Every structure is written in structure tokens, then in C-alpha cells.
Amino acid sequence: MSGDEDVRGAGLRAAGHPVLVMVDVQRDFADPALLAGWGVDETGLAAVDAAVTRCGELVATARRLGVPVVWVELAYDPARPWRASAWLQTGSPDSPTDTFPCVAGSPGAEWWRLAPGPGEARVPKRFYSGFVQTSLAGVLDELQAGWLVVAGLTTECCIQATATDAAQHDLPVVIARDATAAYDVALHDAALASMALNVADVRSVADVERLWSAA
């Protein structure tokens, strides 16, 4: 661990209460049978599988140490289509969105291999960021969050968007690098590098657990 990381760790301990924000570990984003059908290769499938395992370990440790867990989940409503995303994918903002992942109430929106526990907050979202048009900021205020650990799927998309908005809500952010994944390992590494440069401290799950224990 570098000197900068040690200083940041001390700063986090002084910042206040930690909160774990678990993002989008849902069937449509994590089920290997579905991902293989989308063309994700074996390396990508293995990366997702390993990250989901580490997410489960992180949640278990958070519960054991009394760190609140907030579950941010995509709950897409086809009646409110995301026109910008449709345009980016098809060229038409008014194209059908029947194939959009994690439609609210569908099997694809279910949490994959881990799940919210009794009393843990769930925050449905419509866009990439857990903060946009959601209750997340209010939930974190109620929990008196001083800093966040963000984990889940996928690194370059909803993790990076949520971490960026957390930093812009003036919350220090730690990314659990081995409890996140992208479908392409190079893309995962690039997203971590970008976040480390601009918005977050990137650490291993083991380092996060040590920070929580010290706090």
C-alpha cells in the first residue's frame, strides 16, 4: 500500500460512517447463460463470476461489521423509454425498447447470487447512475454516510456513473476493484484507471475490509 493510500485511509476513518452501495448485480447483467448469448467470451464470464463472488463476500463482511448496505438496481419501465439510449443503440430515439435489460418485475431484474436483507434499503433506478432521479442521496443522508464503497456491475457503466455522481455529491468513494467487472477485462482496467484519476480510491476487497474494521 502506497503512502497516498495510507493517508486516504486515515482520512476515510475521520470522514464518518461508511456505507456499501451494491449496484446492479442482477440476472440480466450476471447470468452466464444470458451473457454467453450476448457474445461475452469465457474471459468475460469468468471475470463477472469472480466479481459476483467477491460482492457476496463484501456484503457478508459489511453485515458482520455493521456497515449499512444499500442496493441500487435497474428497474426499467418500458412505458418510460430511455430515448437517449435507444438513439445511441439504434439511431432512433423512438425505437422499441422491448429488449432493454432488467425490466421492473421481470426475472431479469432479480438479484443474482446475493440479495437485500431485511431492513436494507433498495433504490430502483432508470439510468446508469444510482443518483439520477432516485432516492439514493436521501437514503445516504438518513444513514449519515461519510464515505462510500461502491461495488457491482458493470465497471465502465453503472459503477463509474454512480461513483462519479457520489463524488459530485461530496462523498469520498472507494471502488472495490475485485468486486466489480466489465464484460471485457481491458475495459474494466481502463474504467478503474479513469476513476482512480478523477473520482475514487480503488482498492481490493481485502483493503476495504481492513478499512471497515479500523473504523
Please report the pLDDT score of residue 4 as a whole number: 63
Please report the pLDDT score of residue 165 as a whole number: 98
Q: One-letter amino acid identity for 120?
A: E
- Characterise 47 by phi-psi region: left (phi > 0), alpha (psi -120 to 50), beta (else): alpha
Domain boundaries, the chain: 3-57+64-214
* pTM to 2 decimal places: 0.95
| Burial class (CB within 10 angstroms; exposed 0-12, middle 13-18, buried 19+) of 144 | exposed
Q: Is the pLDDT of residue 28 over 90?
A: yes
What would the mean pLDDT of 44-56 be, rounded to a whole number?
Answer: 98
Q: One-letter amino acid identity for 152?
A: G
| Pick from 20-29, 75-84, 101-110, 129-138: least confident | 75-84
**6-10, 78-82, 85-89, 150-154 — most confident range:** 150-154
Q: How far apart are CA 124 and CA 145, in angstroms?
A: 19
Q: How many CA atoms lie within 13 A of 114 on its CB side?
A: 27
| Pick from 98-107, 121-130, 156-165, 203-212: least confident | 98-107
DSSP single-letter state for residue 118: T
Domain 3-57+64-214: give its CATH superfamily.
Answer: Isochorismatase-like (3.40.50.850)
